[in-house]
Every structure is written in structure tokens, then in C-alpha cells.
A and B are shown apart, each in its own frame.
Chain A
């Protein structure tokens, strides 16, 4: 409140006099958004180490294993990148709605349903020996449309009926998983596979290949391209500007004549499309069929990734790779240290809690504040 009452200094009122002055302000402000999340990461690592010590395990061994299992060798790095690709996409599914002020946590459902729909759609094309390129394109399009539709419903309900999007998106996840189970255990079950109820495998010829020279599938490239595209969409286009205005102050946006409802539904649909695409790559590049393994929790980890990246599509990429590495090293940690597989979940939950607590630190430190500029929230 005090900031508003205080008269602004001439320097702030005048347009930035020099390019360099403006840049230093931006760096100082930007530093706050880097230092505080890193601080939160450090604190949660510290608290997690205390937990390990209390259990008589060595924290140094744990972090060494994360380093080795996630990033140390070419093999583990490729494994990490492969896991970070669905994380990038599911984090984008959180970030875009977050920019318009919605907390959507239904990425898991859009991923599962998108993956399932693409596997189901593939069956007639695989049976009739259609060319792999065409089949994969149709599969990807199906996943994108189904995922977009699924979260689009959440956005529509939010705008048209005022239904809380956080709860409804998670309910949609449970419904989506139930729909997949309904078909996978029923009419679409591959009866030649006695083990796990699954759809018919699409077969090796129809699998998405790897990026040349690596064992990482093309989903990573899709994630990278989409995060750049969505960054440009949000920060360099009229649409993105409208989204940010509506996210900052919906009433002002409505008063300006912005189509807030349309923007909400479009953001949610793009978000769902990203998560659906993640499902497509899980099916077409890794599993080869749809079954319960699709619900592996990428949608939930993606929420944390997006919050840690402050919903910035470009920052999502490194954060997703970090958490992809932690997830990838889970098996190694389980075997070497005798810790349960939920260890990674505890670390993630703890990080999330500490990160949200760190929100309170913004604007508290003088070093990041530049005199005479109004605090941006």
C-alpha cells in the first residue's frame, strides 16, 4: 500500500533513459526469481537429508546416486532425457492455464486418455497395414484432440458455471483412468496377452523412432519445440498479452472487452493437448500399447515442475530434466540404499511444500528491489 502512496521518483516516471539502466533493473528483478526457487531447492534438499540421517541412511550416498543414476553416464543421461519429455509436456499443461489464473492439476488424466485414444485409433490402421507415417500422424492428432477436449471441458465448466477447476480437473483424471480401464479390460483387450490387460500392440514397425545417435525418442524434441512456441505465444503475441491481462485481473480484462471465457477454454485446450501428446509418445515410443502403466505419475510431477519454473515455458525444460533425473535414479536408489520407491515422492512433496513457503520471501530482500520502481506482482 505504501508504494502506491509514495510519489514516484522522476527516474521511474520517465521512460528508461538508457538501455543499460533498464537492463540492470531487469537483471536485479530477474535474480529474485532465480535465487528464491534455488534457495527453496536447497532447503528441501537439506530437510530431506535430515530425514535420511534420521533413518540411518547417508545423504551423500543418496545425492551421489541421483547424480550417477540420472546424469553420470551417457546411458543414464539418455534415460533421464526420455523421462523428462513427458514431464516437459505435462508441466506445460499446468503452466498455460496458470498464466490465466487457473490451477489445473488434471494433466495425468489427459495423458492417460490421450495415450489410450491414440492406441485405440491405431488398431484399424495397423490391421490394414497403412503406412507408419500416416498412422502415427493420425495417432498424434487423436491424442492432441482428446487431451485438449478433456481439459477444455474443465476450462469451459470454470468459465460457464464457475466450477472450481482444481477439483474438477483431478476428478476428470480419475474418470479418464476409469474410461481407459473400462475399454482395456473389456472390448479392446488384447486377448493374446494374458499378463496385463492392454490394448493390441501397435507393433515395432509403427513405433516412433529415436533421435539419430541416441536412445531418446522424438518426444523430447516435441517438448522442446512446444515450450519455445508457447513461450513465444505467451510473451510475444497479442493472444499471450490478453491471457496475461486476464490472468492478472479478469475484471479489467472483461471491462476491456477481452473474450475471457474463450481465452480460458483455449488455454485449457492447449494445455490438455500438450498432456495428450505426452500420452501419445508414451504409447508410440515406449509402451507400444495402452495399459495401466500410462498412469505413472508424470502428470503429478509436472505440476511441481511448472510451479518450480514459475510457469515459464522456457524454464520448464531444465527443471523437467532435473526431475526426470531424480525419477530416473529412483530404481538405483531403491536397490543400493534399500529405500522404498516412494522416496522420490517424498522428496518431490517436500520440495513442493518448501517452494510454496518460499513465495512469502518475494519482495522481502532489499538487494532485489530497485529504488523508484513499483513492485511487479
Chain B
């Protein structure tokens, strides 16, 4: 690989990180909030797909993509609320409900999304951070969508809120020790219900990005595990919203490896590079599972790490 080729690959990777990372970011932030409150929602994969379908359908019907984003968030909250409500029943396992919600959300999205596979819905706009450069590749690669900035902002606000607000403290306390929260007069079920609902909203918005910006169309193969990888990412990010944002950017870059190498003519193993984000997630899970540092930061009530 020559030097200019490496440069092209590097630019493509940065571009990929900026382009592909947004859905990871939103789902990871949503899951981070839910897990901080002491519950796991594995169903965000389904939420992501349903959000993508809803956003596309509403954008097509109303010709307003931002209305689509809002609708996706609402659809996501509906699934989140469902998960939050069901898990509050005694003897119900949140992981199993998550699997069921994954199948349910995907099924509903495919069911109602069938008529929207063909038509073209209005897309979200974008702007480039690369106006300073006279290279067309750089300008294209640094083109970003406002949702990316929203996601980064949500990450910072969430981190600040966890550390500095009463609500943040209540969520963290509920996640670390339900008896302590109860003793303080906090309704554990209500806090978890709201955290899962808001988490679902964020994941739905992440789905809107998939169908309204990149790849920018609605079809049944739109998300293949991004939602699930984002859930794994939260463990890697050790339940810190800011680390969730950074990890999402890393994952975006990993997802861009295949197309980036293809752009310089390396097509061998294209399908293998497509597996890169999954393999990376698995290795990250292996690396972070045994870590003592992670064990110290995990919310005490969480069933996923036990």
C-alpha cells in the first residue's frame, strides 16, 4: 500500500467514524441510561429497526424528515415503555424480555414497513467540516449530520447530569442498590420505567439516522446487529456517557474498514472486513469482562455482568 493509499484509507476511516457512528452513539447512550438505573434492555436492536422504519414512513408522509426523527423517538419510547412495564412484574427476566422485544420490534417494523421499501423519503441535510481543504475527498469525508452533534451533546449533558443533578443521583442510586433507593422513598420501578422509556427514545432516534441519512433508505436488512453491538459497547465504555460517545466513534471507524480498503482497490476479503465490527465487539467484551476496573464501575443491580 503506497503512502497516498494509506492517506485515502485514513480519511475514509475518519469519514466512516463520523458517518457510521451516530446510530451506535444514540443506542449506546440510551442503553447507558437504562443500565445505570439497574436494568438491561437487549431489545434496542428491535427499537433501532422500528425507529428507522417509523422515521422513513413519517418523513415520506409529511415530507418533513425532522418530524420523522421525532416520530422514531416516540416509537422507540413506546417499545422502551413496554419493556419497562413488563420487567416490573415479579419473576420476569429482563434479558429474556429484551430478546422478545428484539423479535417483536423487528417484526412490527417489517410488517408496517413493507409499503415504504420502494418510495423515496426526504432525507436529513448535512454540512461539511472540511471546507478548509481543497481536496474533494476530504470535504466529502468530513460531511456530517446534525444528529451526530446532537448525540455528542446528549453524551456530555448525560455525564454532567449523572454527576451533578438530583435526577442523576436518583438514577445512579436505583441502579446501585434498589433497597437504598426504596429507603430514600424513591419508586424503583418508576425510575427504571422512565429510564428505559427515555433510553428507547434515544435508540429510536438512532434508527432515524439509519433510514434518513446513512445508508439513507428503508429496507429489511438496514440494521444487522448495530443495536446489539451498541449494548455490548456500554460494558466496554464502563457506563460512562462520554466513553460511550468515544467508543461509538471507534466502532464507526471499524465499520468503515471494508469500504475504505475497497476504495483503494483491496477487495479481497470484503465480506470478512464486514465482520470486523462484530469481531471487535467480541474481543472488547472478552477484554473488558475480566477487568477489575470495570467490575468496580458496574451498577450493582445489573444482571448482565453477574
Contact = CB atoms under 8 A, between A and B. Distances in A.
Contact of B289 (A105, A161, A357, A359): A161
B272 A178 contact: yes
Interface string A284-309: 00000000000000001001100100
A219 to B, nearest CB: 24
B93 interface: yes
A303 B99 contact: yes
Given A342-B111, A357-B86, A359-B92, A168 B103 contact: no
Interface stretch (B55-63, B134-142, B152-160, B228-236): B228-236
Contact of B224 (A174, A303, A343): A174
Interface in B128-172: none
Contacts of B46: 349
B235 to A, nearest CB: 8
A170 interface: yes
Contacts of A374: none
A163 B286 contact: yes
B95 interface: yes
A173 B114 CA distance: 25
Interface in B77-97: 82, 86, 89-93, 95-97
B225 A346 contact: no
Contacts of B272: 178-179, 182
A106 to B, nearest CB: 11
A167 B232 contact: yes
A349 B82 CA distance: 13
Interface string B99-139: 11101111110110010000000000000000000000000
A353 B228 contact: no
B111 A178 contact: no
Contact of B110 (A161, A168, A345, A353): A345
Contact of B103 (A103, A161, A304, A340): A304
Contacts of B278: 171, 174-175, 178
B89 A360 contact: yes
A340 B112 CA distance: 8
Interface residues of B, number: 48
A353 B100 contact: yes
A179 B106 CA distance: 24
Given A168-B282, A182-B269, A352 B91 contact: no
Contacts of A103: 95-96, 99
A156 B115 CA distance: 44
A356 B275 contact: no
A352 B100 contact: yes
Between A300, A341, A353, the greatest number of chain B beta carbons within 10 A of the residue's beta carbon is seen for A353
A111 B103 CA distance: 18
Given A175-B278, A360-B91, A167 B106 contact: no
B305 interface: yes
Interface string B195-227: 000000000000000000000000000001100
A139 B99 CA distance: 32
A103 B101 CA distance: 15
B228 A175 contact: no
Given A186-B271, A342-B110, A356 B42 contact: no
Contacts of A186: 268-269, 271
Chain A contact surface mostly:
helix
A167 B274 contact: no
Nearest to A186: B271
B290 interface: yes
A141 B263 CA distance: 41
A166 B42 contact: yes
Contacts of A355: 100
Interface string A146-159: 00000000000100
Given A170-B225, A350-B104, A357-B92, A179 B275 contact: yes
Contact of A352 (B104, B111, B225, B289): B104
Contacts of B101: 349, 353
A7 to B, nearest CB: 25
Contact of A340 (B114, B274, B275, B282): B114
Interface of A: 103, 105, 157, 161-164, 166-168, 170-172, 174-175, 178-179, 181-182, 185-186, 300, 303-304, 307, 340-343, 345-350, 352-353, 355-357, 359-360, 362
Task: Please give me the 4 A-B residue pairs with the lowest Cβ-Cβ distance, nearest first.
Answer: A349-B104, A345-B107, A342-B110, A178-B275
23 contacts: A157-B285, A162-B305, A163-B282, A167-B228, A171-B228, A174-B275, A175-B279, A178-B275, A181-B271, A181-B274, A303-B99, A304-B100, A341-B110, A342-B111, A345-B103, A346-B111, A348-B107, A353-B86, A356-B86, A357-B86, A359-B89, A359-B93, A362-B91
Given A340-B111, A357-B89, 9 more contacts: A157-B286, A162-B290, A163-B282, A167-B285, A168-B282, A170-B225, A347-B107, A349-B108, A350-B104
